[in-house]
Structure 1
Amino acid sequence: MPTTAPHGSWRSPITAGLITGKQVGLGSPWLDGDVAYWTESRPLEGGRVALLRRLANGRTEEVAPPTFNLRTRVHEYGGRPFTARDGIVVGVELKDQRVYRFEPGRVPVPLTPESGGALRYADLVLDLARQRLLAVREDHRGGGEPRNTLVAIPLAGDPHEGAVLAEGHDFFAYPRPSPDGRSLAWLTWDHPDMPWDATTLWVAELDAAGRPADPRAIETGVAESLVQPEWSPDGRLHVMSDRSDFWSLYRVRNLDLEPVALIAAELAGPLWQLGSRWYDFLDAGTAVAIATERGVQRLTLLDLVAGTERPLDLPFVEYAGVSCADGVVLVQALPADGPAQLVRVEPSRSGFATIASAGALDLDPGHISLPEHITFPSEDGRQAFALYYPPRNPDYVAPAGELPPLVVRSHGGPTGRASPALNLQIQFWTSRGFAVVDVDYAGSTGYGRAYRSLLEGKWGIADVEDCIAAARFLAESGRVDPSRLAIRGGSAGGYTTLCALAFHDLFKAGASWYGIGDLEALARDTHKFESRYLDRLVGPWPDAVELYKARSPIHHTDGLNCPIVFLQGEDDKVVPPNQAEMMVEVLRKKGLPVAYLLFPGEGHGFRRAETIETALLAEYGFFCRVFGIEPAEPLPPLRIENLG
């Protein structure tokens, strides 16, 4: 018989320790023939990223020594930190950013020189015909912005910083040699564009020394985002373009693009991390791609001749990192009610095989709240989207007539998207009796370029309006308590959160995870990749300085009238701690309840198990005290200033 208890006070088996202790982060699936490679981010090892592989005989082994942490810092967000081909494995070590060659049981061999981390490498591609490695290099040795180039690194001999193959642009990505080794394709973009705004695809013949000769740009005549150029097995260059609103697959022909598959779904995404893969070739006539439609993803087969698709019947709602070899697909797959998996799929057969899992999850399905994709009206007549999670715990019911408190999640990016895959941090809340809504506000990915462009010039306005509209929609429909509405977010989502609290009075509490309070400081202090991002979202810096001040919560703290908890990494280079501290000091002086937790050794996004647990419990404890809820379990002490 369920126990009657107020929303928010339900005891749950989904503890903070469960979220970190039994789960690893799977990533970067890669097939080298019949050998499967992937990375595991391990919170219990301080967030260390390990490289693993499964051999054809089924044996799994760690490729790099346990002292190695594979992570590239190019663009600060990094990306795929390794590659493998014909048994040769290379990867980037976090501490020194050098590229190493790995063989299990042997000391890793450095391919690049010691630079104190000033030379960084990403988007690694092996060119075995020339016994070299192609990579994007980011050089921090000079003054001002780092210099990005494409380089070739020998696989033998003394460590080499790389011979420059292409330069002259602010950013490079996807060096891709053709199957016959005669040509090279790559992407570039320049300030103030981000890669989801406009990129250029280049193609060049390679001379006898392997250098690009007479590079030619694919001139399309329109502003479009081209992403992930790849050569099919028969030597045809393909690329994803969003010229038709959705990212779709195109073929390069005579320095122009012709559509291959136009379907009513997004086939790629924003290039935040180098080496991201949304599709691969199963054979010369078939590609396997990730399609996103109305918040849910599917793995689908694209007929490159007919331009049609055939979705694969798999029990997952989210995918990442497609890799194909010999008629087999390796992909990260996430269900709505279980842990992430690395799965092996043979499209010619039914079913799939699990190669690795993010961890054991022995939970009663009754504790899992499944999301509902909702569409609701927002400002200026536009529609917005979200995933709504109602409270769910089979052991409890709320008192008659009591509505649950609501946590509004504003994702980061701000080009991110709400995922319907199982997120234990969301289930942490819903299993305790909170409702959660994960908002795909204007600017989110997965709904086409036009929807993504709605945030241009309106960051801090349209995203906030949509978060408010989601909360009001749920409150007016009688699903949540209008007097207990909270908003939370990290990074760009933290900015949306702070704007909602500074410029509006709907929410009664907020939580900012490494969120942006001062747009001027962000424009001045952030790294190269995002240094001109705000030109489109807000206005050109510094010409639009008054607009930056008008949009910065730090300059409008007079509008703050509710408690806020700030959670911040001490080593954050994207959003430095001083931004959170400026906001905290203002709240202190105003006498508003505030809590501030600074985590040494953490950057932009928390990786350590103890940090993730402490931050989550602090947020839960903060909202409980603000909303007068008796917590479901004993919580660590939390100092909340100005709260009796």
Structure 2
Amino acid sequence: MTKPQIAPYGSWKSPITSDLVASGAVRLEQVILDGENIYWIEMRPAEGGRCVVVRRSPQGQAADITPPPFNARTRVHEYGGGAFTVHNGTIYFSNFTDGRLYCQAPEFMPRPITPEGKLRYADLVVDRHRDRLICVCEDHIATGQEPVNTLISIDLHGSKRSRVLVSGNDFYSSPHLSPDGTRLAWLTWNHPDMPWDGTELWVGELGVDGSLRKVERVAGGPDESIFQPEWSPDGILYFVSDRTGWWNLYRRHKGHIKPIIGMETEFGAPQWFFGMFTYAFVSAGNIICTYNDKGTWHLASLDIETQKLQRIEISYTDISYLRAGSGQVVFIAGSPAEPASIVRLDLSSERLEVLRRSTDVVIDAGYLSIPRHIEFPTEHGLTAHAFFYPQQNGDYQAPPGELPLLLVISHGGPTSVASSKLDLMIQYWTSRGIAVLSVNYGGSTGYGRAYRQRLNGQWGIVDVNDCVNGAIYMVKLGEVDGDRLIIRGSSAGGYTTLCALTFRNVFRAGADYYGVSDLESMRKETHKFESRYLDRLIGPYPERQDLYRERSPLNFVDRLSCPVIFFQGLEDKIVPPEQTEKMFGALLHRGLPVSYLPFEGEQHGFRRSRNIKSALDAELYFYSKIFSFRLADPVEPVQIQNISKKG
């Protein structure tokens, strides 16, 4: 064996390069089964972030279906999801460039079935009994007003005008048809609720002409979040509800709602995107499902009659987009050692098969950091959660007595969750000798409704406390250097990052990716889906304007005393560039070491490989200058203002 080289943390040479992180992986989304064919979406950074529908035949051949320049993506709620569906080999998808719906029959080019305009579509369902699509429509035609969301029907051939089926509420999602096509179920909610706060499940009968009648609310309300309504093969309505404090499975039969399973685990997830599925019917009496237990997802089989849940032992710890049919279950899964992949489970042989990996790159185990789940004490005698990734590179060890830098990651949402699946971005840091703590602060999902609600009225406080306390906990364990603590985050995680840097004095540097710095501006300028989100996270506006100002880092730049690097997409509609530019300007004026990298053509989240690479290299370069460690490989320098004034 080659003796490890001695080199300071941060300066280790790694085969996990920024090129590998940026171009080596696609993002896999939305699985659909059509007969024995399997479809999914691949978001490809190497193609400028284009989303491509891919089909895998029963013979095992995978092929792109949507040709360039078509981009199967929707901007409903800005975050999208549920951008396509398939019926008998014909694909229906939303095209990102013009927002129109297209129909693509086998061996033909896509053709539009909706008119030009400012309409957006998502959550597509084929109503085969009436030759139409049912979907969510978001109308942006009225200028100066909030977009209007409805459930509509669209003729499959585009020869008839669309028809509004349900309207009047602020949001709709998850339309699902009963197997005989006579009933439609859907979810709806209104401001200021988000779908993980309170939703309603409605059901209506469909007439011969396709209209809805005998419409009734069957579950849900302001204090109950419903997820994934689904009809069983024998026409019974199932859904996930958190009415007990945990997202568990229920069914409605003969007017009565009964629990199917009751566990202190989560069978649902926050609906940031359309088209999310955590369970599927194998038969009228059997469900294959996935559930989240303290940040780790498990696969299981559920016998409905006996209510017995049988764990299916697999190595994956992150599972999503689960679908079933034709004797198989297909889902997207990953683990600490395996990247996100399309995985197929053959129900007859119980054999698992990987159909598509998000990356074909194989990383030697000597460079992979395997996370461990940690629980640590936080404010008010409570416990918070995180995944800790120790530095790992078999080619190096640090000089005696040196402790590694710690990079704390604050996830977005903030109602989201840090996953333990293989993330090359995290491995980029750990393989260079920088430890990572990915925090599931109070407000994260996977730990029950009460944990999620810790953030209500406390955004900028609970999340910051948990990130700070997580870092301090790792220092007390003696695993990291308390003088070299860094925090980074994107979107809502960027807000947590800026609050931690502004209102606390624990971290010595930070990286903000399109984060919120001015809560009042966000409240006034952000898109419809999140326009009232802050009512719960902060307080009603303008009644609690004082809280919005007290928790906006931009108003207290004089308290921020450490270097920061900012990254921003110039077409971001969720966190407009003006917020980042004001924050950068204020720090520049104060004389702090600061950098700002704006990216043309990027929105809320970077999709282009060259920009992902540039951002990652710039962040590493920034830390190397702030903490005075040499880089093993040259990277393109980034301009750091006021660097001579550091310290």
* TM-score relative to the length of structure 2: 0.98
| 489-498 vs 26-35, greater mean Cα deviation | 26-35
1:86 aligns to 2:88 (yes or no): yes
Match of 1:414 in 2: 414
Match of 2:628 in 1: 628
Match of 2:30 in 1: 28
Q: Structure 2: which amino acid aligns with 1:262?
A: G
How far is 1:255 from its partner?
Answer: 4.4
Match of 2:153 in 1: 152
Q: 3-state SS of the aligned residue for 2:578?
A: helix
Q: Is the 8 A contact 2:153 2:163 kept in 1?
A: yes
Match of 2:277 in 1: 277
Cα 1:399/1:555, change in 2 over 3 Å? same
**Separation in 2, partners of 1:304, 1:222:** 28
Q: 3-state SS of the aligned residue for 2:463?
A: helix
Q: Structure 1: which amino acid aligns with 2:517?
A: G
**Separation in 1, partners of 2:173, 2:266:** 21
Match of 1:189 in 2: 189
- CA-to-partner distance for each residue in 1:101-156, whole Å, 9 max, x for gaps? 113442212111111xx100000000111100000000011131000000000012
| Structure 1 portions without partners, runs of 5+ | none
**Separation in 2, partners of 1:188, 1:151:** 14
How far is 1:365 from its partner?
Answer: 0.6
Q: Is the 8 A contact 2:85 2:125 kept in 1?
A: yes
**Separation in 2, partners of 1:563, 1:333:** 37
Q: Is the 8 A contact 1:64 1:104 kept in 2?
A: no
Q: 3-state SS of the aligned residue for 1:339?
A: strand
Match of 1:106 in 2: 108
- 1:376-395 matches, within 5 Å, as 376-395=376-395
- 1:340-351 matches, within 5 Å, as 340-351=340-351
1:167 aligns to 2:152 (yes or no): no
| Structure 2 portions without partners, runs of 5+ | none
- 1:554-593 matches, within 5 Å, as 554-593=554-593
Q: Is the 8 A contact 1:217 1:255 kept in 2?
A: no
**Separation in 1, partners of 2:347, 2:505:** 52
1:142 aligns to 2:142 (yes or no): yes
Q: Is the 8 A contact 1:219 1:256 kept in 2?
A: no
Cα 1:159/1:65, change in 2 over 3 Å? farther
1:447 aligns to 2:447 (yes or no): yes
Structure 1 consecutive aligned stretches of length 4 or more whose deviation exceeds 6 Å: none
- 1:198-209 matches, within 5 Å, as 198-209=198-209
Match of 1:638 in 2: 638
| Aligned counterpart for 1:75 among listed residues 71, 74, 77 | 77
Cα 1:219/1:55, change in 2 over 3 Å? closer
Q: Is the 8 A contact 2:91 2:105 kept in 1?
A: yes
Q: Structure 2: which amino acid aligns with 1:415?
A: T
Cα 1:15/1:233, change in 2 over 3 Å? same
- CA-to-partner distance for each residue in 1:378-426, whole Å, 9 max, x for gaps? 0111100000000000000001110000000000000111101000000
**Separation in 2, partners of 1:373, 1:219:** 35
- CA-to-partner distance for each residue in 1:137-196, whole Å, 9 max, x for gaps? 000111310000000000124364x20000010000111111011111111000000000
Match of 1:405 in 2: 405
**Separation in 2, partners of 1:159, 1:632:** 63
Match of 1:540 in 2: 540
Q: Structure 1: which amino acid aligns with 2:248?
A: S
Cα 1:255/1:148, change in 2 over 3 Å? farther
**Separation in 2, partners of 1:220, 1:175:** 16
Q: Is the 8 A contact 1:248 1:262 kept in 2?
A: yes
**Separation in 2, partners of 1:176, 1:271:** 16
Q: Structure 2: which amino acid aligns with 1:548?
A: Y
Q: Is the 8 A contact 2:494 2:514 kept in 1?
A: yes
Q: Structure 2: which amino acid aligns with 1:260?
A: I
* TM-score relative to the length of structure 1: 0.98
Match of 2:14 in 1: 12
Alpha-carbon RMSD across the aligned residues, in angstroms, is 1.1
- CA-to-partner distance for each residue in 1:285-324, whole Å, 9 max, x for gaps? 1111111112211111122122221111212111110111
Aligned residue pairs total 641
**Separation in 1, partners of 2:611, 2:589:** 28
**Separation in 2, partners of 1:391, 1:300:** 33
Match of 2:304 in 1: 304
Q: Is the 8 A contact 2:264 2:448 kept in 1?
A: no
**Separation in 2, partners of 1:222, 1:259:** 20
Q: 3-state SS of the aligned residue for 2:343?
A: strand
Q: 3-state SS of the aligned residue for 1:129?
A: coil
Cα 1:220/1:567, change in 2 over 3 Å? closer
- 1:250-329 matches, within 5 Å, as 250-329=250-329
**Separation in 2, partners of 1:449, 1:140:** 33
**Separation in 2, partners of 1:423, 1:256:** 44
**Separation in 1, partners of 2:63, 2:90:** 15
- CA-to-partner distance for each residue in 1:563-592, whole Å, 9 max, x for gaps? 000000000000000000111111011100
